[in-house]
Structure 1
Amino acid sequence: MPTPLFSKAGVKSLKTIEHIVLFIISIATVFAIGEEILHMFRIRTVELADLLLLFIYLEVLAMVVNYLESGKLPIRMPLYIAIVALARYLILDMKSMDDWRILAISVSTIVLASTVIVIRWGQLKLPYPKKNDTD
């Protein structure tokens, strides 16, 4: 059985690693945003694909901030990112896709959106008990 001191040190070490990785994710995302903005300036135009990519980066940053503030990662945030990523993929490559691929991406997007709705409904109708309620 682990001692309380060992357990505390282990948790603290893992929390430190967690914060380091979140910092790396944040820096990499900000770097990617900067590259995308420079790309738009170089080609002197802004396309829908660029905006959707920036939106994905923004959602990643919002997810990191949310996690740092609350200590929890709402599963809906990665689902939103996936929906936008699929929409971006569909918009960019639709002309070169066959009908079955377009259908598969569309169905996948609907499944993800439905999942968000079900999760949100569950949070409203069947919330987790508060920590004080179980004590």
Structure 2
Amino acid sequence: MDKMYRKYGITSIKAVEHLVLMIIAIATIVAIGQEIVHIFNAGEVALADLLLLFIYLEVLAMVSHYAESGKLPIRMPLYIAIVALARYLILDMKAMDDWRIASISFSTLILAATVIVIRWGQLKLPYPRPKEDN
């Protein structure tokens, strides 16, 4: 009986997980569409628009990867954060004081260093492969 509840519980959680992934994917596609409409209405493509589209693209790639493998690589959200900080810096640099610019730049460097450390750890200290059941 306990195994049955566990099985239904896991199945229910997986169903909710897939539902939320679909909602995230649909919301991201809608946001991409809204940004494209904004670009056409403005009559020009700004660097901020391109960076925002890259952020949306990375979110879609992350959802796709998670849906396929069931694993969320920590590097993908870090890439999104780096691009978001770069976009913020580019858009608002003129209105920022020197300390804010320095802190955002330093934060970006910390995120980039984190990506390098994680990648190094994946290459040099990989997880042991799980044993396959026969």
Q: Which TM class, normalised by the smaller chain length?
A: over 0.9
Match of 2:80, as an amino acid? I
Q: 1:120 is matched with which residue?
A: 119
What secondary structure, in the 3-state scheme, does the structure 1 residue paired with 2:19 have? helix
Q: Is residue 87 of structure 2 the alignment partner of residue 81 of structure 1?
A: no
Is there any run of 5+ residues in structure 1 with no aligned partner, and where? Answer: none
Q: Aligned partners of 1:76, 1:108: CA distance in 2, in Å?
A: 15
Cα deviations across residues 76-122 of structure 1 (Å, max 9, x unaligned)?
Answer: 00000000000000000000000000000000000000000000000
One-letter identity of the residue aligned with 2:130: K
Cα deviation for residue 132 of structure 1 reads 1.8
Query: CA offsets per residue over residues 39-71 of structure 1, 9 Å max, x none?
Result: 000011000000000000000000000001111
Q: Specify the alignment match of 1:97 in structure 2.
A: 96
Structure 1 runs of 4+ off > 4 angstroms?
none
Identify the residue that residue 27 of structure 2 maps to in structure 1.
28
Q: For residue 42 of structure 1, what is the aligned residue in structure 2? A: 41
User: Which segments of 5 or more consecutive residues in structure 2 lack a partner in the other structure?
Assistant: none
Report sequence identity in percent. 70
The TM-score normalised by the length of structure 2 is 0.97
> What is the alpha-carbon distance in structure 1 between the residues aligned to residue 21 and residue 46 of structure 2?
29
| CA RMSD between the two structures | 1.0
Task: Measure, in 1, the Cα distance between the counterparts of 2:80 and 2:42.
Answer: 26
- Asked if 1:110 is matched to 2:109, the reply is yes
